[in-house]
């Protein structure tokens, strides 16, 4: 176990910033880093002062994938019994608050998969996305074949997964993988700005909105629309719905209480 923190965290207003901090290995996602990330995510999710979370890496690499050197000698029984990739990696998918990936440089293999587990990807102009696991004699193991295909469609997902080709930021935006592209030096600031905007809104409405959009990936259209309608109706039980609509009618800014 390395004797330094592999993630750094800070708060800016009500937005938590998590920076992957293993630059010498291009933020390769080893067990220690993923454990620290999971712990930070659970802490921020439970903290009522936090409205949104941003995950970023360095200018050169968001993350160059799972740590190949750490996993290369693992055996089938070990990875099976440890459910390797499963529990340790999925922490971000259990977070109720919005999680934004601010991606500069390489987001490869598990790095791309981690970004795709987030709710939104903001890409720097120098970002490069790919699932090059085929070069290593394996396939993506943290949702890459599934989330990438849902995000960019079968044709491009097959192209990336079968050939290990990388996609630049412009292609990733055209393909629907990323929400916005910004100059590389501004990617974290832009993601923090998105988080700050979210922090001004009603926390229950934000959480329900995130859940409803994510439901689109898990269910049929009919079930998803029914879920959305019930969730929409349920928000009429919040004080924030009364405040938001009163503020509109009275031509003033809403003051949400998150209740």
Ligand X SMILES: CC(C)(O)CC(=O)SCCNC(=O)CCNC(=O)[C@H](O)C(C)(C)COP(=O)(O)OP(=O)(O)OC[C@H]1O[C@@H](n2cnc3c(N)ncnc32)[C@H](O)[C@@H]1OP(=O)(O)O
Contacts with ligand X, residue ranges (CB under 6 A): 25-26, 28, 64-69, 85, 106, 108-110, 113, 132-133, 135-136, 140-142, 144
Q: In the bound complex, what is the minimum distance in angstroms from residue 23's beta carbon to ligand X?
A: 9
Q: Of 18 and 34, which CB lies nearer to ligand X in the complex structure?
A: 34
33 versus 209: smaller Cβ distance to ligand X: 33
Q: How far is the CB of 179 from ligand X (least distance, A)?
A: 23
Nearer to ligand X, 15 or 167 (CB): 167
Q: How far apart are CA 134 and CA 75, in angstroms?
A: 18
In angstroms, what is the minimal distance from the CB of 258 to ligand X?
36
Among 13, 62, 54, 10, CA closest to 33: 62
Q: How many residues does the structure list for the chain?
A: 259
Helix (H) / strand (E) containing 178:
none
Degrees to nearest 5, angle at CA 168 with 155 and 28: 100
Query: What is the number of the residue whose Cβ is closest to ligand X?
Result: 109
Report d(CA 62, CA 105) in Å as an integer.
Answer: 6
Please say if 171 is a catalytic residue: no
The closest alpha carbon to 117, from 83, 86, 71, belongs to 86
190-193-197 Cα angle (round to 5) = 145
Catalytic pick among 65, 105, 109, 110: 110
Q: Is 188 helix (H, G, I), strand (E, B) or coil?
A: helix
Q: Which of 101, 105, 133, 142 is catalytic?
A: 133
235's tokens: 């928000």
Phi and psi (nearest 5°) for 174? -60, -35
Rounded to a whole number of angstroms, the minimum distance from the CB of residue 29 to ligand X is 7
For residues 52 and 161, which CB has a smaller minimum distance to ligand X in the complex?
Answer: 161
110 counts as catalytic: yes
Active-site entry in 63, 113, 124, 151? 113
145 Cβ neighbours under 8 A, 6+ residues apart: 131, 139, 157, 161
**Is 66 an active-site residue?**
yes
Instruction: Closer to ligand X by CB, 105 or 204: give it.
Output: 105
Of 25, 61, 66, 169, the active-site residue reads 66
Cβ atoms within 10 Å, residue 210 = 18
- Minimum Å distance from CB 14 to ligand X? 31
Q: What residues are annotated to the active site?
A: 66, 110, 113, 133
């Amino acid at each position: 176990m390395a004797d330094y923190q592999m993630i750094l965290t800070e708060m800016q207003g009500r937005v938590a910033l998590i920076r992957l901090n293993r630059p010498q290995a291009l933020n390769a996602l080893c067990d220690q880093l993923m454990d620290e990330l999971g712990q930070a995510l659970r802490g921020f999710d439970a903290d009522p002062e936090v409205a949104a979370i941003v995950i970023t890496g360095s200018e050169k690499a968001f993350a160059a994938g799972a740590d190949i050197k750490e996993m290369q000698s693992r055996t089938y029984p070990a990875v099976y019994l440890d459910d390797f990739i499963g529990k340790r990696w999925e922490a971000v998918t259990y977070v109720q608050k919005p999680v934004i990936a601010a991606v500069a440089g390489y987001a490869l293999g598990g790095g791309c998969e981690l970004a795709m587990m987030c709710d939104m990807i903001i890409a720097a102009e120098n970002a490069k996305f790919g699932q090059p696991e085929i070069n290593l004699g394996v396939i993506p193991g943290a949702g890459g074949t599934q989330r990438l295909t849902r995000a960019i469609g079968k044709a491009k997902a097959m192209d990336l997964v079968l050939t290990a080709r990388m996609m630049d930021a412009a292609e990733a935006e055209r393909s629907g993988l990323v929400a916005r592209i910004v100059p590389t030096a501004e990617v974290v600031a832009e993601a923090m700005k998105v988080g700050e905007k979210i922090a001004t809104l009603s926390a229950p409405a934000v959480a329900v909105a995130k859940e409803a959009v994510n439901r689109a990936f898990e269910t049929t259209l009919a079930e998803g629309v029914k879920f959305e309608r019930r969730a929409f109706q349920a928000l009429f039980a919040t004080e924030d719905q009364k405040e938001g609509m009163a503020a509109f009618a009275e031509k003033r800014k809403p003051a949400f209480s998150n209740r």
